Structure 1
Amino acid sequence: MKKNKSICIIEDDENYLILTQKMIEFTGLFGEILTFRNGKEAFEGILQRKKDTESFPDFILVDINMPIWDAWDFLDEFSKYSSEFSGMIYIITSSINKVDEAKAHKYPFVKGYLKKPVGLEKLIEIFSS
């Protein structure tokens, strides 16, 4: 994978956000790391990035339970642009609710459902897919 790839992390837990960002930086695989604290902020930021650079991030990691817009709100709105999106979205969550996992699979552009904590090896594996 070339380093010019971009990734977006949507996570409201500051500690987990920093940890994930540091692990991603450690891989050296991404030239740009975008971070957002909720789904609405992420949706608006990603659309602005698309407008500015004519591209969506290559990877999006999204937590389920967040304030303002949760993952489902984000995915519902983002699905309107899914035909233009060629990247990969992974849900990364502490939820053990089987309903959440089943719901995630209803979005064809969601490539995986990962339970926290996600280690460095797993991140490298999904970035290499």
Structure 2
Amino acid sequence: MKKKTSLACIIDDDGMYIRLLKKIIEARKLCDNLLIFNNGKESIDYFEAILKNLHEEEVPDIMFIDLNMPIMDGWEFIERFTKIENKFNKLISLYIVSSSINPVDIDRAKSLSNIKDYLVKPVRITELETIFKKSA
């Protein structure tokens, strides 16, 4: 049997959505710990600091990234993260989770090789369970 995902990350500025996602992940015991950031800038600062200090155990297995956030949006975060992603000795599954159903956003996400999937909010419990099973 595969081990449970140890760390996942939510990058989203919607507090209500974060609470819902966190509650589902905890109730279904999908992972041991969660990192939560309210914008791309907070999260990229965190990941760049990990690289400087070589704390790779603090790198999530799965990341859920919203597109529309203040300070640094999801696209900007993905662009910056892509430049450092290969420095981690770990495969990180990136998922865009957005309320946008704009085909331009969906096509752009699917054109990026490091994005596993584009999920439209609200994410269904079965989708989350499938994602965490793949990652474990």
Q: TM-score scaled to structure 2, two decimals?
A: 0.87
Q: State the structure with bigger RCO (CA 8 A, min sep 6), 1 or 2.
A: 2
Aligned to 1:104: 109
Match of residue 15 from structure 1: 16
How much is the aligned-residue C-alpha RMSD, in angstroms?
1.6
CA drift of 1:10 comes to: 0.4
CA contact (8 A) 2:5 2:132 kept: no
Cα contact 2:65–2:97 (8 A) shared by 1? yes
> Residue 58 of structure 1 is aligned with which of 29, 48, 61?
61
Is 1:67 aligned to 2:67, yes or no? no
Q: Is contact 1:5-1:57 (8 Å) kept?
A: yes
2:115 and 2:26 mapped to 1: Cα distance?
23
- Cα distance in 2 for residues equivalent to 1:123 and 1:49: 26
Cα distance in 1 for residues equivalent to 2:45 and 2:80: 10
Normalization by structure 1: what TM-score? 0.91
Once the two structures are superposed, the pairs formed by residues 109-120 of structure 1 within 5 Å of their partners are 109-120=114-125
Give every structure 1 segment of 4 or more consecutive aligned residues whose post-TM-superposition deviation is greater than 4 Å.
none
Residue number in structure 2 paired with 1:26 = 27
Shift of 1:89: 0.4
CA contact (8 A) 1:2 1:29 kept: no
Q: Is the 8 A contact 1:7 1:57 kept in 2?
A: yes
Unaligned runs of 5+ in 2: none
Shift of 1:102: 1.0
Number of aligned residue pairs: 129
What stretches of structure 1 of length at least 5 have no aligned partner? none
**Contact 1:89 1:109 (C-alpha < 8 Å) held by counterparts:** yes
| Residue identity opposite 1:22 in structure 2 | K
| Residue 37, structure 1, aligned to residue 38, structure 2 | yes
Return the offset for 1:5: 1.5
Read off the aligned partner of 1:105 and give its amino acid letter.
K
Contact map agreement 2:65 2:95 (CA 8 A) in 1: yes
**CA displacement 1:82-110 (0-9 Å, x = unmatched):** 22351100001000111101111232111
